[in-house]
Structure 1
Amino acid sequence: MVFPQHRISPEAYLRSELLADIKHQLIDGKPHRMPDVSSNHNLIAGNIACELKQQLKGTPCRTLISDMKLRVADDFFYPDVMVVCNEDNVDPYYKIAPTIIIEVLSKTTRKFDQTAKRLRCQNIPSLQEYVLIEQDKGEIQLFSRAHNWQSFYYYLGDRISFASLGISIAVEDIYERVDNEDVLSFLQQKQQEALQSAS
């Protein structure tokens, strides 16, 4: 299945995406192939999705991963992780009312995720927090509607608080088994501290 290069309608995109071998996002009417992801990217998305799913068990909130589309006006994205707490059954193939959107940054998507995509998503009435996670260093940026979309930074050793859900997650758990210099340095420091306290 090959997407046309000209602008297409949301309806044409949805029909084509069902038949496509490779996922595409629809931005300003034009389909864009989803980029490949690294193992670090995959691990981070999986780690935070698992933590969220575990802590939200028994609540109305559902944790959805990157195969589920998000519709924002006539644009369609594949967020790495979404949490949806409201009834959102408009269509089985996309959501329109997430509470939280989480993106793992990569070189090819960083600029768009941090700027144009974030600003479009902030117009979603239900959205409370928009989260950007670095994969090459231990840094997480959270934008909060409750604070007029001010951003807050979290690092290894911190706990990131999701006020809209009433939960928090250790940044260390989000980066579990991720291979980057910050994680390696953090684990070495923890090991040294454990040895010192044991001696």
Structure 2
Amino acid sequence: MSAAQSIYQRRYTVEEYFTLEEQTGIRHEFFQGEVFPLDGPEGMAGGTKQHNRLIQNCTFGLRAGIGERGCEIYTENVRLALAAGEHYNYPDVVVSCDPQDDDPRTVHSPVVIMEVLSRSTEARDRGWKFEQCQLIPSLQQYVLVSQYRVLVDSFVRTDHGTWELTSLRKLTDVLLLPTLQSQLPLAEIYRGINIPPLRLAD
């Protein structure tokens, strides 16, 4: 077993997890004492240029939409506390509007989370990760963006605590962001993205 592999064979306290990330410079998911690398040879392969461009498009579009509303937008290198002390991860895009959410490394009160899907992460983003995000009291919207076809799935928390799904499939569609009092056209999300024609097999 290599030294790198042995790092992930033990359980960590939250403080040890934070120290591990500072020492290695590698992003990890932390869940109840276990750590899972998100970068490097022990983690997932690097994202594609298309994946990165979609994150940038979402970020720029959100920033233009919210203006001076006092919300902050962070991308994939800022940690999210799904459950403080128990579960931390790194969303592609996260928005916080809480002025007291001032931790320099971690977002604690997200209102919107956006994930750009890849073939290796889609099932998890739609399943277990979404289930975990639903437990965040402040979260109002969870958005999934496909990089292989024009498809944006938006889940919005209702007044009854359930989640309402809206699927957008055309470049002329507009993603509504009610909590931010804003909207984001799909044409902006997919600007500069090469989407192949949809085939029956897809």
Q: Common fold, TM-score beyond 0.5? A: yes
Aligned counterpart, 2:33:
29
Deviation at 1:5, TM superposition (A): 2.1
Residues 68-127 of structure 1: per-residue CA shift (max 9 Å, x gap): 100112111111001100124363211111000000011121111111111111111110
Map 1:28-177 → 2, pairs under 5 A: 28-34=32-38, 35=44, 36-73=46-83, 74-89=86-101, 91-146=103-158, 148-155=162-169, 156-177=171-192
Tell me, which stretches of 5 or more residues in structure 2 are unaligned?
A: 39-43
User: How many matched pairs?
Assistant: 183
- Rounded to whole Å, the distance in 1 between the matches of 2:152 and 2:120 is 18
Task: Give me the whole-angstrom Cα distance separating, in 2, the residues matched to 1:169 and 1:5.
Answer: 43
Residue 115 of structure 2 aligns to which amino acid in structure 1? E
Query: Cα RMSD between the aligned structures?
Result: 1.8
Letter of the aligned partner of 1:68 in structure 2? V
Extract structure 1 runs of 4+ deviating beyond 6 A: none
C-alpha change, 1:85 and 1:105, in structure 2 (3 Å) is same
Letter in 2 for 1:43: R
Q: Which runs of 5+ in 1 are unaligned?
A: 184-199
1:2-28 Cα shifts (integer Å, max 9, x gaps)? 433222122111111111132211134
Separation in structure 1 between the aligned mates of residue 28 and residue 100 of structure 2, nearest angstrom: 22
Q: Is the 8 A contact 1:103 1:131 kept in 2?
A: yes
Structure 1's 182 and 101: CA in aligned 2 closer, same or farther, altered over 3 A? Answer: farther
Partner of 2:196: 181
**Larger relative helix fraction:** 1
- Give me the whole-angstrom Cα distance separating, in 2, the residues matched to 1:39 and 1:180: 13
| 8 A contact 2:66–2:181 mirrored in 1 | no
Residue of structure 1 in register with 2:41 after alignment: none
Identity among equivalent pairs (%): 28
Write the letter of the residue equivalent to 1:109.
T
**TM-score (norm. length: structure 1):** 0.86
Task: Give the alignment's TM-score, normalised by structure 2.
Answer: 0.84
Structure 2 CA distance, aligned partners of 1:117 and 1:59? 28
Q: Distance in 2 between matches of 1:90 and 1:61?
A: 12
Separation of aligned partners in 2, 1:27 and 1:138:
32
Question: Shift in Å at residue 51 of structure 1?
Answer: 0.8
1:5–1:179 Cα change, 3 Å: farther
Residues 20-58 of structure 1: CA deviation (Å, up to 9, x unaligned): 132211134322221221111101110010111122221
Deviation for aligned residue 1:135: 0.7
Whether the aligned pair in 2 keeps the contact of 1:64 and 1:81 (CA below 8 Å) is yes
Structure 2 distance, partners of 1:61, 1:90, is 12
The letter of the residue matching 1:6 is R
